[in-house]
Structure 1
Amino acid sequence: MIDFKKHLLGTTVVVGLAFLSAPAWAQTQTGASASGDKADDDAAAVEEVVVVGSRLRRDNYNSASPVQVVTREDATLAGFASTTEVLQSTAITQGTSQINNAYGGYVTNGGPGANTLSLRGLGATRTLVLLNGRRVAPAGSRGSVGSADLNVLPSAMIERIEVLKDGASSLYGSDAVAGVVNIVTRNDLDGVTVEGQFNAPMDADGAGQQKRYSIVGGTHGDRWNLSGSAEYYQRDELTLGDRDFTRCPTDNYLDGSDYIDPLTGKSKCYSLNAGGVTINTIGTSYMTGVAADGTTATRFNRWRPNSAVTTGLVGFEGVGGTGTNTSVRDTYDADMLNESLISPVEVATVYLQGSYDLHALGNAEVYGEFLYNQRKSSQTDYRQLVLDYAVGSPLIPDNLSSSVFSASDLGLNLGQAVGVRAFIGYGNTTSTQQVDFTKTVGGIRGDFTPLAGWRYDVSASYTRSDSVYTSEQFLIDRLQNSLDVVANSDGTFSCAGGAEGCVAAPALNSQTLAGELPADWLGYVMTDVTGRTLYDEAVLSASIDGPLFTLPAGEVAVFLGAEYREMSIEDIPGIDMQTSNVYNYSTSAITRGDDSVWEVFGEVEVPLLRDMRFAQNLTLSASGRYTDYESYGDDTTYKVGLVYQPVDFLTFRGSYGTSYRAPALFEQFVGATSGYLSSSYDPCNSYGDDGTDARVAANCASEGLAGTFQQTSSVAVVTSGGAENGLEAETSTNLTVGLILQPKLPDSWGELSFAVDYYEIEVDNGVDRIGASSILNLCYASANADFAAGNGYCSLIDRDASSNGLTVYDSYVNVATDVVKGIDYTLRYRKPVGVGTALVNLGVTQMTERYSTLFADDPIYDEVGTIGTPEFTATADFSYAWDQWRVHYGLEWIDGMGYDTYYQKYYGYTLESLGYDAEVGAYLTQNVSVRYEADDWAVTVGVRNLTNQTGDEVSAGVVNMVGNVPLYSGYDYVGRTAFINLSKSF
């Protein structure tokens, strides 16, 4: 909890290197302030404060764990328009991947539009976010809500951000495995400040702009104070068509080859290999016909309209079949460029905090906080519509009446065989979310009069996230009704089944294939499907802290606390989602569950030596927690730390502890949710080829599949919670060892500080899903007798007897081990120069080891250096301040990444040898700004991503991509952006 007695500037709490992994220096060191004198004056006003990483009040701060502090002013100078951007920047995350607004088309925890934070690359559920020392409950949509959504934070009220990159479950409870982020709000405000910020991308024709407007104010009396803020943030959509690098994905092979579209003579944007869909095409049984330019085959099972063709299949040219390059097919539609690259959002936030002195109960004060946040987000997608016309349907033209695409019903034909499959480019659809988040806190704190110097704090809070989410969907039953037609005498068609309101599907012709679909039919087969997600959390906590006794080296301080927390989740998808009535889209069952936990915990700090030769300071700290969850039972965690300062300029520090993470509610109770993998994941594809594992071949043959079998349907993946399978909490250990150098330099040389910290975190019995591809491979490679009996992993797989389609059931289980190790280096140098002060902050993180295994006997494949897991990242901040001016220059650097070294080490070959470009070079972005601050107003102007860097391209098929650039949160897809921030106080 955060305990202030006087107004506190964040830059004077610790010397947090702005946007760097800063160590916690001694209190007498100053931060990134414009004036050293001003910082010293503010430091003198500090009495006692609690900083993340400890629950003890101190008038100085020497932590056994590294703590980073980001100040409000430095966030403004770097041009960040929201707290989300600050927290997801390379400086905080060390380049590891984050869920941000470039993931709108992917299934992510928290649902589309949610932004989460993952420290050390261990995932958002292993990072704890606090607001003024109290948990920020999860928020979002759909069933997998399990982490704090950074959108809910009150950006206008934030004074500083404290980041503990060390496990701390013994201090903060579940989820604090990789670290803790504490958001500290401004306190003791007097007056009103109006602020506005505008960020304008300079290379996107006005798209992707960001705007933030806020008003912050406060007042106080002799016994009370009240402050708060109201703000509005808007980010406009940035589409694939708004940026050059996303307009035309290519194969991008090392030999320079790319498929050239015979129709245009140019590179074929959205080729099949680059992830495009097939449109304006039909699928039939094999027929002889005229070949399209680009193929020399004579028999085809894929065709596109061509009115000039008068022989063979009249009106169509062949684009797929034996000996045909499938990239001949039409895969590009201009509507694809309307897809969201960065999805739009509007966020409105109101925050209030206040206190009142009772002059009773030990000089107690009652206090309260209220946070209301509303997020409105949306995503634009591109949809392919696949219609199956049944054999004998009057909607099929006469020259295709003999075709039999599939002898089985593929889902839309009420048991009839499929004559022709139509691949139609429908166009764009939109998904929307509105999330209303409310958090209320009330408490009382004061002196515990029976014990001198002791204080107590009792509080209660209640949080609710209420989300409504909607998506445009084709409904299966209505598509089935509309495709079952009879011909009328006037050449029109009517629905045969007589379903109410039914509109007959359009006839199969070139207009239909081109996506020119009748409005009345679309109005019948499409609808908005809406679901609702509720997440509630109630917390009751009490604590007491103070000096226990005095040793020669100082007071032994103790903190004791207890907390009760209960949580519940309820996600009710739209009824058509629940009943699997949405076509070619994921489906979801109801998610409903709750959990509760009792905890008692404590911390002690013991000063062992002080002001002795070779022992200026030796302090031991320890903390422990007992936890009892309703869901999985009880557990204990602990942490011990040591700070040793042999001489004034050198400090050693270290800590070792255990952490745990209780499974999130969605991991326990998420309703069965379906998704899809490519048909290529079926292990039985072409299993008769040489080189196929003998057991795989035998198992595939036992299912009656031919050696040349090719899967034509996507692999359905059903995810469900693990509560019924006895899901348990995961445990972890964490070690941090470091040193701080602060040599005493001559005054004219300035001030220098350097720190280096080694860290390692190991998570055991981790909560994870085995993964559909792993289940498939493990099942089909199992002993033939086990396969036949459906034992082990094979019990998680169903193959449809008629269509041969696969369904994999992949629930949450305790299987994984995650390990991350690395070194943080930080340097700070400050020196008076001329009329002002120069300040340099530098931070480098080296990840030395990162791997995950599913089972104890799995081989270890170190992922360091692969895309999304850089070995080195660095940030630097240079500023010069004089009078009322401050000039700033910042850098964010990410080391080159790729897969050639990884594949050579573990598989004996490189992707380069196969013709793929799987490497990206180092990535550097720069930001510059200047700030002028008068008595009651300030202005900051600058540019982010000065050189307009977007990231290097890789070949299609290497990783998920945006254009040909890896989908990776460390890259700035918006590009060069000018910004201005104005504030005025009254």
Structure 2
Amino acid sequence: MTGIKLAGLCGSAAAAALMVFASPAMAQVQEQTYRFDLPAQGLGSALRAFGQASRQQIIFSEGSVRGRQAPALVGTFTADDGLTRLLAGSGLTVTRTRSGVVTVGNEPARAGNATTDGATEGARDLSELVVTGSRIRRTDTTSSSPVTMVTAADLTERGYTQVGDMLNQLTSNTPSFAQPPFSGVPAGSGQTYPNLLNLGAGRTLTLINGRRMVATSDNFGDRGVDVNIIPAGLIDRIDVVQAGGAAVYGSDAIGGVVNYILKDNFEGMEVDTQYGISSHGDDKRPSARVTFGKNFAGGRGNFAADIEYSKTDPLLEQDREFFKSGTRSITNLANTSLTDGRPPTAIILNGHQWRYNTNGVIFTTNTTAPTGLLRNGSGQALQFAADGSMVIPYDTGIIGPNSSSASGGEGLDSRRLSTLATGVQRYTGTLVGHYDLTDHIKASTELLYSHQKGDDEIGTQGLVKFVGGFAPGGQGPVSFTRNNPFLTAAQIATLSAASPAFAAGGPLVLSKMYDVIPQNRNTKTDVWRLLAALDGDFNFADRDFYWSVSASHGETKTRQTVLDFDIAKTNNAFSAARNGAGQIVCAINADAITTNDDPACVAFNPFINGGNEAATAYFSVPVGGSTRNKQDDFLATLSGDVISLPAGKAKFALTYEHRAENAKFNPFEANLSGITGQGESFAESGKYNTDEFSGELLIPIVGGDFTLPFVEALDVNGSYRFVDNSLAGKEEVWGIGGNWTVGWGLGLRASRSRNFSAPTLGQQFAPTSVNPGNPAQDPCDRTLINSGPNAAARLANCQALFAAHPEYGPLASFNDPAINTGLVALTVGGNPNLENEVSKTWTYGLVYTPKYVPGLTLSVDRIQIDLTNGLSSFTINNFLSVCYDTQPQQTSFCDTFTRNSQGYLTTGRETTFNAGSVLYRGEVYNFNYRFPIGRFFGGEDYGSLEVAAEATHTSRQETSVTGFDLTRSQDTPSAPDWRIRYDLRYSKGPLKLFYSLYYLPSVRANATATIESTPVPVIKANYQHTVSAQYDFGDFTVRGGVANLTDEHPSFNSRIYGDLYGRRFFVGVTARY
């Protein structure tokens, strides 16, 4: 933490120095000049191109530029001079908001109204626009909630071709990567979902142009929209509202809102290509994009199309040096007590699973102890050779105490158990257009299509038959005798010499992982949405009103496939015998029983690698399924002026939204039948509809010509939303806020809101299956009865249970075998009785834009969120804990499991339940200072410099699944105390240089980690540097850069705290026609 404190002090000192030593005279020094080469075009397109060239944030309403043409702008000008030339003759004016954003709007009110109140209020009436976080049109970008803006230039300078990569750089967003949290589990589908404030991806709402998008997730977890379906070529900006927004936009806006604003007046053609590669020679990232747009009908209409392709390859653990060590944990024999300064486990390098490998380790019995290894006369453990031709010595490595791990040896390399990162292939096509039916009515449409394929190269562990495996699930080891027809005489002799019992006809056990099928887990996702809208404005009773209606239909189809094994057929194939003709066949086809014959069965040779293709084809089956989400959304809004007040116009917005969604899940045949040992699955479907009404009100109290000491402007706003969901029921949410401009560039803001998130269709209707369970932690077991979050309640409840059931025996000696074995049959599925989860949110902060330091903006906001009735994924252990650790007992939780006559747990349930809670406390910081370097050197043109910093501080984050347990996550890899990003930009004419530092401080491995509990209790700080350069030659721009310049890897011992890929290079070119 010392480094971060030092960085913060340096940043504060620098800002203070600027404020103290900068003088008003500095503002008079000649501003930075820029080189422009803009052809004559529609004004909207010209303003966007101008903003990118000068790095100005320019906001305008489409209505104000509609039908207007901009002249060519060629030469070197200051930003103000260039903008004045661009707007010459347009009748539009320019102003800057207190946050430094440029707004372009109309001249004063209509002719004929010169004597109205509106005309006497001030010099001009800017065109009104909608700012994310509200549907009220206003003349500035002021918001009572913290808002961060991302532009298309932010992607380009970092070499990003997918929007999700940029969102991962936002410090208020928890990065989402297609990687497993630990070895041995799938890496995922490759989709990226925003997760603001680490509250969960389902608690961040995604909008496109202020409207909802169909979920691209499978809808059986969090509801989310994959960031990478967004067309990068049509991005105008991305508005990110931190904390809340449900009263304006509806469900899911708890952590905040991400609104993708697409370009509405793109003209010309852009062809963009880029290629990236890592310094390791892998992670190749080709991408291509074509964007085309054109005005028509004299500027009354415009259409634009964007087609994009990008690809990233899968990454394996052996591809990276920092994972080649294969770290694993073993029991630390040096640990003698809880206070000796030694952890209970130790980390070993070059870790292997000694109990099995791909050759086949031989045991005398089905035991996980080293004593069960078959050894020759020299004491060497034995295995089969790679080609299965002979039995050879096996190097176990140095086996850890009571562990499946060994350092070194020939056991299975643990890095082969999962992909490090999923590969993604992506195609998108987008068409947007609008046409002015009249001067006051606009028709528009959006069509978006995306096809994405995720390639998890080791998405399954394949066929693993190992000692200690769960036999009913097909993972038990292979038992064989000397009568196995695949054994050679030499092998039988070697094995018999090592085991007299085998020589006498007894069995041995083979523990092996079989590389017999592709391990790829493929996920294909197709998404499309079509939207049609009408927008208009009118004047009534000397008040301006705006209206909008839109209707959209969207669909997502997802299909996930991986190969698995039919347990019955696998057992048939592994049991071989010779028939009457001496041929090796499946034993079921060689015995005297004809009712169990299977002509398709092919005997499997368990001792070799390869050569079993026919047998593998017999017992391997595709598993997975397909899901389809559909969404129909109708949205109608009316907004406008209420009354003119001394400080300005009071404004309102009314909204009605009707949304209908349905989801279907169709498992594959193997899943339906349960033949792979995972239990039967069932096709499921569900649907709901919701009717929602909302209203907003904005009241200016002080402002314009009406000011007070220390109050240049003051406004308050309120919002309310009523929700009637056909499944989750009725809900009411609200928000209030205010903005206070004190003066001298200082503004204060605050908001208070109640937000909600409705359960997903998946959480309500997930397909039901009955699976062999994992070990269950029975609270009444004698080893656990005095533990838990409420030990007294646990003891009392268990005593009452055993008193009511004397057949269970004495409680003091009760030992449930379910603790150590998967004996509980688990029913897994949805819960149709779920309710909305709700949160209460506070935000308050300041924005400082001192006029005597032009170009400087500083903002700080505090965020407090309390979520209750949270939608939690409940395991049987969660149900058990709530049942026994609370008083009085909650029967709805206790009814989810059963016991047999001995008191042992026999059945249980896993589903989603309303019981969780989340508490979040933190702040977001933004600093930006942009200035011409010549300001400090006599006005010479040395280019301009922009210094920016963004930080999110999480001071407290606590999560409860059951409502009774509590897990602190701040100061851990998932929620570090700080995330900080520094950006430095230099530009002079056509040249732009960029540097960025993304910083993660040191954190604890978990909330309670100490050297007494964890071998590496502190995860070290992590730094990622990015540099790039681009040069604009007029018709085309070339760029190049290096991401992760110093080739930093994830901090030891973590795979998520840092960058997996290492140093990466990229080059690209954008051609304009």
TM-score bracket for this pair, using the shorter chain length: 0.7 to 0.9
Q: 1:796 aligns with which of 869, 881, 896?
A: 896
1:247–1:351: structure 2 CA closer, same or farther, 3 Å change rule?
same
Shift of 1:876: 0.9
Match of 1:503 in 2: 601
Seen in structure 2, the aligned counterparts of structure 1 residues 607 and 279 have a Cα distance that, compared at 3 Å, is farther
Question: Are the counterparts in 1 of residues 1004 and 1018 from structure 2 also a CA contact under 8 Å?
Answer: yes
Match of 1:767 in 2: 871
User: Unpaired runs of 5+ in structure 1?
Assistant: 19-32, 259-265, 308-312, 406-416, 904-909, 955-964
Distance in 2, Cα, partners of 1:66 & 1:270? 47
Q: Which stretch has the larger CA shift, 913-922 or 445-454?
A: 445-454
The C-alpha deviation readout for 1:302-335, integer Å capped at 9, x for no partner, is: x75279xxxxx99999999998764459774469
Match of 1:626 among 716, 719, 722: 722
- Distance change >3 Å, CA 765–CA 493, structure 1 → 2: same
Q: Look up the match of 1:897.
A: 1003
1:440 paired with 2:517, answer no
Change (3 A) 1:715 1:244: farther
Matches within 5 A, 1:655-666: 655-666=751-762
**Per-residue deviation, residues 832-871 of structure 1 (Å, max 9, x unmatched):** 1132111111122111110012445x36543211221101
Q: Counterpart amino acid of 2:757?
A: R
1:281 matched to 2:356: no
Number of the residue aligned with 2:441 = 364
The aligned residue for residue 751 of structure 1 is 855
How has the CA–CA distance of structure 1 residues 896 and 105 changed in structure 2, closer, same or farther, with 3 Å as cutoff? closer
Code of the residue aligned with 1:979 in structure 2: it is: F
After TM superposition, the structure 1 stretch with the greater mean CA deviation from structure 2, 771-780 or 641-650, is: 771-780
1:591 to 684, 700, 703: 684
Distance 1:314 1:294 in 2: 11
Deviation digits for residues 432-469 of structure 1 (CA, Å, limit 9, x no counterpart): 12111110000111123546421211110000001222
Distance 1:192 1:388, change over 3 A: same
Cα pair distance change 1:16/1:627, threshold 3 Å: farther
Q: 1:666 to 1:652 in 2, by over 3 A?
A: same
**Aligned partner letter, 1:823:** E
Map of 2:953 onto structure 1: 846
Distance 1:10 1:136, change over 3 A: farther
Q: Which deviates more from structure 2 when the two are superposed, residues 863-872 or residues 324-333?
A: 324-333
Q: Does 1:870 align with 2:976?
A: yes
Deviations 1:406-442 (A, max 9, x none): xxxxxxxxxxx99846433436511112111110000
Counterpart-to-counterpart distance in 1, 2:898 and 2:701: 64
- Measured after TM superposition, the shift of residue 536 of structure 1 is 0.1
CA shift in 2, pair 1:479/1:889, >3 Å: same
- How far residue 48 of structure 1 moved from its aligned partner, in angstroms, is 3.2
1:100 Cα offset (Å): 3.1
Shift of residue 756 of structure 1?
A: 1.2
1:143–1:591 CA contact under 8 A, matched in 2 = no
Which letter does structure 1 place at the counterpart of 2:831?
Answer: G
Superposition pairs of residues 268-667 of structure 1, within 5 angstroms: 269-272=350-353, 280-282=360-362, 284-285=364-365, 304-305=382-383, 326-327=404-405, 332-333=411-412, 336-337=415-416, 339-359=418-438, 363-381=440-458, 382-386=461-465, 389=478, 395=484, 420=509, 422-426=511-515, 428-448=518-538, 450=540, 452-483=543-574, 486-489=577-580, 490=582, 492-496=584-588, 498-506=596-604, 510-511=607-608, 515-516=609-610, 518-583=612-677, 588-610=681-703, 611=705, 612=707, 613-667=709-763
May I ask how many residue pairs the two structures share in their alignment?
Answer: 901
User: Which secondary structure does the structure 2 equivalent of 1:522 belong to?
Assistant: helix
For 1:684 and 1:194, the matched residues in 2 are separated by: 67
Q: In structure 2, give the amino acid aligned to 1:937.
A: F
| CA pair 686-378 structure 1, distance change in 2 beyond 3 A | farther
- Does residue 168 of the first structure (1) align with residue 266 of the second (2)? no
Following superposition of structure 1 onto structure 2, how do residues 899-914 of structure 1 map, counting pairs within 5 Å? 899=1005, 902-903=1007-1008, 910-914=1009-1013
Deviation of 1:45 after TM superposition, in Å, equals 3.4
Residue number in structure 1 paired with 2:1049: 950
Distance 1:935 1:431, change over 3 A: same
Pairwise CA distance, 1:546: 1.2
Kindly indicate whether residue 1034 of structure 2 is the aligned counterpart of residue 940 of structure 1: no
Native 8 Å contact 1:198 1:210 kept in 2 = yes
> For residues 320 and 773 of structure 1, do their structure 2 counterparts lie closer, same or farther at Cα, with a shift above 3 Å needed?
farther
1:960 matched residue in structure 2 = none
Question: What's the Cα RMSD here?
Answer: 4.6
Residue 988 of structure 2: aligned partner = 882
Alignment partner, residue 711 of structure 1? 820
Single out whichever of 712-721 and 658-667 deviates more from structure 2. 712-721
Q: Deviations over 1:918-944 (max 9, x none)?
A: 311111111111111232211121111
Deviations 1:629-675 (A, max 9, x none): 00022111111111011213211100001111111111111112578
Matched-pair contact (CA < 8 Å) for 2:394–2:410: no
One-letter amino acid of the structure 2 residue matched with residue 977 of structure 1:
R
Q: Report deviation, 1:714.
A: 8.6
Amino acid at match of 1:774: N
**Which range moved further: 937-946 or 96-105?**
96-105
Residue 846 of structure 2 is aligned to residue 742 of structure 1? no
Q: In structure 2, do the counterparts of structure 1 residues 287 and 608 end up closer, same or farther at CA, with 3 Å as the change threshold?
A: closer
Give the C-alpha shift of residue 123 in structure 1: 0.5
User: What is the alpha-carbon distance in structure 1 between the residues aligned to residue 404 and residue 701 of structure 2?
Assistant: 74
> What does 1:56-135 correspond to in 2, within 5 Å?
56-93=136-173, 96=174, 98=176, 100-102=178-180, 112-135=189-212
Shift of 1:372: 0.7
Q: How far has the Cα of 1:404 moved from its partner? A: 12
How far apart, CA to CA, are the structure 2 residues paired with 1:642 and 1:683? 50
Whether the 8 Å contact between 1:239 and 1:338 is mirrored in structure 2 is no
The structure-2 alpha-carbon separation of the partners of 1:864 and 1:456, relative to structure 1 and needing over 3 Å to count, comes to: same
The structure with the largest alpha-carbon Rg is 2
> Which residue is equivalent to 1:957?
none
Work out whether residues 295 and 325 of structure 1, in 8 Å CA contact, stay in contact via their aligned partners in 2.
no
Task: Tell me whether 653-662 or 640-649 shows the greater mean CA deviation.
Answer: 640-649
Distance 2:140 2:711 in 1: 18
Distance 2:972 2:428 in 1: 38
Classify the secondary structure of the residue corresponding to 2:294: strand
Indicate the residue corresponding to 1:962 in structure 2. Answer: none
Change (3 A) 1:36 1:403: farther
For 1:516 and 1:550, the matched residues in 2 are separated by 83
- Does the aligned pair in 1 maintain the 2:400–2:406 contact within 8 Å? no
User: Take 1:190 and 1:740, find their aligned partners in 2: how far apart are those partners?
Assistant: 35
Q: Contact (CA 8 Å) 2:44, 2:266: kept in 1 or not?
A: no
User: For residues 750-772 of structure 1, what are the alpha-carbon distances to aligned partners after superposition, in whole Å with 9 as ceiling and x for unaligned?
Assistant: 53222111111111111112334
CA change 1:419–1:176 in 2 (3 A) is: same
Shift of 1:709: 9.2
Q: Secondary structure at the match of 2:130?
A: coil
User: Structure 1's 131 and 688: CA in aligned 2 closer, same or farther, altered over 3 A?
Assistant: closer
In structure 2, list runs of 5 or more residues that go unmatched: 1-41, 58-75, 85-93, 95-101, 106-126, 336-346, 386-390, 466-475, 589-594, 803-807, 935-941
What is the deviation of 1:99? 5.1
What secondary structure does 2:617 align onto? helix
Does structure 1 conserve the Cα–Cα contact (< 8 Å) formed by 2:358 and 2:515? no
Q: 2:924 — aligned with what?
A: 824
Q: Secondary structure at the match of 1:769?
A: strand
CA distance in 2, matches of 1:545, 1:691: 58
In structure 2, how many angstroms separate the alpha carbons of the residues matched to 1:35 and 1:711?
A: 74
Distance 1:34 1:975, change over 3 A: farther
The Cα of 1:681 is off from its aligned counterpart by 6.1
Residue equivalent to 1:218: 293
Q: CA deviation at 1:108?
A: 8.9
Distance in 2 (CA, whole Å) between partners of 1:614 and 1:831 is 28
Q: Give 3-state SS (helix, strand or coil) of 1:478's partner.
A: helix
